[in-house]
Structure 1
Amino acid sequence: MLDLRVHHVSIVVTDLERSVAFYQRAFGLERLARPPFKTEGAWLVCHGIQIHLILYPQGTFRAAATIDNNDAHFSFHTRDFYGILDHLVAEGFREDAEEGDPMRLFVIREGLAGFPQLYMMDPDRNIVEINGAP
């Protein structure tokens, strides 16, 4: 195995401050200093892994506002899956929200993966997974 680790994930956003607020509110991510690149963006961190938000006003390729766990996504891991789920519910996210509602959670408590997973969308329809993998 090569000595590699994930350094960061880049995510396209159309409203930088709205997205920073989402990732900080939903996941408690800390904002990092960012070099003055030509493109606007923000760097956030989660236990040493960086999330780079890149402002791209045209948006992403995803036109549908539906959560598809087989679509491109990135994932956070947690040892306290139900604690995170409770936190998200306290922030207004809901499993019973209608398809297309930005507050919708798609939760798989016992699935084929063998651990609980939930999926949600950020304000730019980027799919985010949170899992309780061992």
Structure 2
Amino acid sequence: MNGMEWERVHHVSLAVRDLERAREFYSGVLRLTEIQRPPFGSRGIWFQAGGQQLHLIEHPGGQALREGGIDTSDGHFAVWVKSYREAIDFLEQAGIAHKASPDSIAGFSQIYIQDPDGNIIELDAAYGS
């Protein structure tokens, strides 16, 4: 029996408590482009993120989805950025707390941030970029 042939990651979905607050962070602060979302029974927003998509789904009830600060061993999604230095400068100007590892043992520079709901986002770049 042959296995399934993988092509690429299409999207990542994250649960959020407040859709408008999430829209402001991802669109207003991180500057992702909002795209059309089908009229599902749930509330959500879709964004284009390079060749992939980011789907935000408002979690009913508004209860805490995650507590605590940046934990690099927790579930997260990662985005490759063109420049580590430009990403750090952008985050600092925007007042976004981050955990930076410019010389990470991963083989590339890593920066971790959180959205307003505590979802963790990893920003990766080539060493010295």
What TM-score do you get using the length of structure 1 for normalisation? 0.84
Q: Which digits, 9 at most, give the CA deviation of each residue in 1:38-65, with x for residues without a partner?
A: 100000011121100000043454222x
Of 5, 9, 14, the residue aligned with 2:12 is 9
Alignment correspondent of 1:82: 85
Alignment correspondent of 1:22: 25
Of 30, 44, 53, the residue aligned with 2:56 is 53
Q: Which digits, 9 at most, give the CA deviation of each residue in 1:54-78, with x for residues without a partner?
A: 00043454222x1111110001101
Alignment correspondent of 1:125: 118
Aligned-partner Cα distance in 2 for 1:18–1:121: 13
- CA shift, 1:3, in A, is 4.0
Q: Secondary structure at the match of 1:34?
A: coil
The answer to whether the 8 Å contact 1:117/1:131 transfers is yes
Aligned-partner Cα distance in 2 for 1:133–1:2: 29
Pairing of 1:68-107 with structure 2 (within 5 A): 68-93=71-96, 104-107=97-100
Change (3 A) 1:88 1:69: same
Change (3 A) 1:33 1:40: same
Alignment correspondent of 1:35: 38
- Structure 1 residue runs of 4 or more that deviate by more than 3 Å after TM superposition: 57-61
Identical-residue share of aligned pairs (%): 38
What TM-score do you get using the length of structure 2 for normalisation? 0.87
- CA shift, 1:26, in A, is 3.3
The answer to whether the 8 Å contact 2:84/2:126 transfers is no
Number of equivalences = 123
- Greater CA drift, 122-131 or 19-28: 19-28
Q: Max radius of gyration: which structure? A: 2
Aligned-partner Cα distance in 2 for 1:117–1:35: 34
Aligned-partner Cα distance in 2 for 1:111–1:80: 15
